[in-house]
Amino acid sequence: MRDIGIDVNPPEGDWDGDDNCPFHGSLRLRGQIIEGNIARVGMIKTVVVERQQTRQMPKYERYEKRTHRYLAHLPSCIGEIEVGDRVRIMECRPLSKKVTFCVIEKGGGSQ
């Protein structure tokens, strides 16, 4: 298993030979690290991660909720993931038209 340069728990699952795996394949990670919840698991090797953010609106002296959704590649070595699980994703090269993130850790962690 390869060191990806970030302090994360190593995955416990088996690797199926996918080249787009940061731990066993040749996928390089760079850029932002985002923590969020799994919103949808319906595609092959891809999940939708949702992040909620609260933003202050000074003009109206109120707060608003904003939701960002990211499509992320799910390597086979991460294991089974269900809707509602907390994960960390990290930016990588574009793997398809909209997938530019990869799941690096299940269960979140300290950031």
**pLDDT tens figures, 12-34:** 877 777 788 888 888 899 999 99
- pLDDT at position 108: 60
Residue 98 neighbours by CB distance under 10 Å:
11
Residues 6+ apart with CB under 8 A from 80: none
pLDDT digits (tens, 9 = 90+) for 56-84: 999 999 999 999 999 999 998 888 889 99
d(C-alpha 86, C-alpha 57), whole Å: 28
For residue 8, the tally of other CB atoms under 10 A from its CB is: 16
Distance of CA 103 to the CA centre of its chain: 4
DSSP category for residue 84: T
111 pLDDT higher than 60: no
Q: Please give the pLDDT value at position 55.
A: 95
